[in-house]
Amino acid sequence: MSPSVLEALKLTTAMKCAPHEGCSLLLRVQASLILHDSLRGLEACSMNLDTQETQCQNVRVSRASRRRQVGRQLQVHFDCFEVSVAQSLYVTLRTVPHFCGVQLDQQYHVEVEKFSYWVDRSRKVILVQVPEAPGAPDYYVRLCLKWFTCEDVGSPVRVTVNRMSRTVSLPYSQELPCLCLEGWSATPDAVRMQACPFEDETEALWDAIRYHPGDQALSWEPACPVSGHVSLCWRPGPGALCHNLEHSGRPAHGRVQYPLVDAQPQLCLKFSTSRGFRVRCPFQERRFQALPISRCTCVTRGSHGPLPAAQFSGPRPSPQPQ
């Protein structure tokens, strides 16, 4: 028998709900084949890859059907297999009797139904549509900041079965790449689904700059995990290249602080990541109240201008005229 007799194997999940009994997940198995006169039926087996437990079902093809429909395409629907959320299954389809090499295999992962959402930037809210099924349990949704774990931003919202609307409004303050939605069923050990609406938007990270006039400390602390480097740089004018200052490089893994920094408009912070670099000049924007600028000056290309004073861990270079 040719292997092409078995044309397709289709797997889908469905939810079965009964009054007073709750809901259960089922795996539907559908096969497409070309009927052969030697074929007596089909066998579908589902094996749980975690426990190696196997379930099998057989569908018989009557002799009358074989005589009338040999060579025609036939659709076969098996009874549903009971499954659980997050199961990994290996499904096999074979002929009865089994012919060597005539077999279809497919691996399938059972996922929980996902929530949907959309962002209203004008109101700074995220609207979440909770999945709905008759007899399904309550559902939780929340906002969280994703570091090593997802840390709560506000309290989770519980959507009850008898709630009129399945849409939840979650307000947010900043569009951060690690600000995520998390949803899960109100059942023990429920699988949690996550979505991060702003994962490609990093601009807000570079604005987390603080200046303390009393001790002249300039600091930056990202609200999300960042991989890269931060350094002080000197920008001669608007749109000009920002020149890195020696011994000012720091890994951007957490809070970075520079003590004894003068509030010079040309003094900037440069952030370098795998996506490129960003430059922020906090004193040029006059966001911070600052003490008078440094007494140190130098000659640069024939003109006088201030030189930023900052304390570094390495040796301090002497200002040299260019």
pLDDT of residue 305: 40
Report the alpha-carbon distance of residue 205 to residue 171 in Å, rounded.
19
> What is the residue-level pLDDT of the chain in tens, covering all 322 positions?
788 889 899 998 876 766 556 567 788 999 998 888 788 889 999 999 988 999 999 998 877 766 777 778 888 899 899 887 668 899 999 998 888 888 999 999 877 667 889 999 999 999 998 876 555 678 899 999 998 888 888 889 998 877 777 789 999 999 999 999 998 888 777 778 889 999 888 888 888 899 998 888 999 998 898 888 999 999 988 888 999 999 999 998 889 999 999 888 999 999 998 878 899 999 886 666 545 444 443 333 333 344 444 444 344 443 333 2
Residue 288 confidence (pLDDT): 63
How open is the CA angle 44-41-1, to the nearest 5 degrees? 100
Per-residue pLDDT at 20 = 57
pTM over 0.75: no
CB 183 within 8 A of CB 199: no
Helix (H, G, I), strand (E, B) or coil at 66: helix
Tokens of 136: 């399904």
Predicted local distance difference test score (pLDDT) of residue 181: 93
Cα–Cα distance for residue pair 279/269, rounded to 1 Å:
6
